[in-house]
Amino acid sequence: MSSERVRSQFEPVARNYVTSHFHASADRLAEVIELVEPEPADVVLDVATGTGNTALALAPHVAWVLGLDLAPGMLAEGAKVARERGIGNVTWIVGDAAALPFVNESFDVYAVRAAPHHFPDVEAALAEAWRVLRPGGRLGLVDCSPPPAARDFVHEIEVARDPTHVRSHTVEEWTELLARTGFEVESARRRELEWRFANWMGTMDVSAQRAAELEAKVESAPPEVREALAPERRDGELWHRYWHALIRARKPADG
Ligand SMILES: C[S@@+](CC[C@H](N)C(=O)[O-])C[C@H]1O[C@@H](n2cnc3c(N)ncnc32)[C@H](O)[C@@H]1O
């Protein structure tokens, strides 16, 4: 996805990511902390940090965090939140996950959450993660990851909601990609959430008409997709299942 396209998609909705029910949720941020087990001396790189939810959650536990993103307008919101919360150990840097502006072996931890599905070249991004991690460094990855039965269907909704969505990978694909890069995968699982459709559309300011079309699409999904998504109405609102891959990996100490 071109940098310009990513910027123009995210910058107008930057503020939504500061308050997003998923991205700013304390429970969801606790998952990242559990994955990377931050230590006080750690220097952390949070790639595609957006408005810095992950970077700011890790910051109190570590020495320093660099939050990197393609979109300066997202980083500006992150910097604002850091100032409001009095968090002073985060630096914000514009850059591309596939060409990181850092020398080799600069970081103890590489975090990336809710973003690799935007990367046109995931293998290049993982090669960069490997390069900038010191030997023994940890990688924590969280990204959308529907099960095979719902994958193609959810992809259509994702792209209609956000044209910068490229591809969601399964846990098995992530495990294979990470192993091929040289990482030792220490834990890999798919986690399921109850997902409020209106929040999902709202984060991207999807128009009411487009949201209604996509809602109708979910409700008329083929039987095998419906079985996976389990759409239901609660107080008139559409809810369904949604999934993420949660992966912890390590660059071997002799890597
Ligand atoms: C959903 S937001 C990230 C959310 C954030 N990681 C969090 O935990 O709240 C996705 C971000 O990925 C960024 N992005 C997309 N492609 C990128 C790339 N190739 N390199 C760096 N950032 C990228 C977008 O600019 C956007 O800010």
Query: In this structure, is residue 230 part of a structural domain?
Result: no
CB of 143 shorter than 6 A to ligand 1: no
Which pLDDT does position 254 carry in this prediction? 87
Residue 31 lies in a domain: yes
- Which residues, at least 6 apart from 200, have a Cβ–Cβ distance to it below 8 Å? 161, 242
**Can you tell me which atom of ligand 1 is nearest the CA of 112?**
6
Q: What is the spatial distance between Cα 48 and Cα 20, in angstroms, rounded to a whole number?
A: 16
Structurally, the chain folds into a number of domains equal to 1
Burial class of residue 135 (count of CB atoms within 10 Å of its CB; 0-12, 13-18, 19+): exposed
Write down the pLDDT at residue 117: 97
d(CA 74, CA 52): 8
CATH value at residue 134 = 3.40.50.150
Q: Determine if ligand 1 sits within 6 Å of the CB of residue 69.
A: yes
Within a domain: 224: no
For residue 130, the CA-to-ligand 1 centroid distance in Å is 19
Q: Is 71 in the pocket of ligand 1 (CB under 6 A)?
A: yes
CA of 41 to the centre of ligand 1 (A): 25
| pLDDT score, position 2 | 79
User: 111 CB less than 6 Å from ligand 1?
Assistant: no
Residue 69 Cα to ligand 1 middle (Å) = 6
Has residue 105 been placed in a domain? yes
The boundaries of the domain holding residue 127 are 3-147+164-192+244-250
Tracing tokens 């700013």 back to the chain, one arrives at 24
Ranges in the chain, pLDDT < 50: none
- Give the integer Cα–Cα distance in Å for 191 and 67: 25
Is the CB of residue 54 below 6 angstroms from any atom belonging to ligand 1?
Answer: yes
Q: Tell me if 65 is assigned to some domain.
A: yes
Q: How far apart are CA 217 and CA 236, in angstroms?
A: 16
User: Do the domain assignments include residue 73?
Assistant: yes
Measured from the Cα of 23, ligand 1's closest atom is 9
Q: Which residue has the tokens 């690799």?
A: 116
Q: Are 135 and 105 in contact (CB under 8 A)?
A: yes
* Whole-angstrom distance, CA of residue 95 vs CA of residue 74: 12
Does residue 54 form part of some domain?
A: yes
pLDDT at 1: 63
pLDDT at 132: 98
- 99 located within any domain: yes
List of residues 6+ apart from 172 with CB closer than 8 A = none
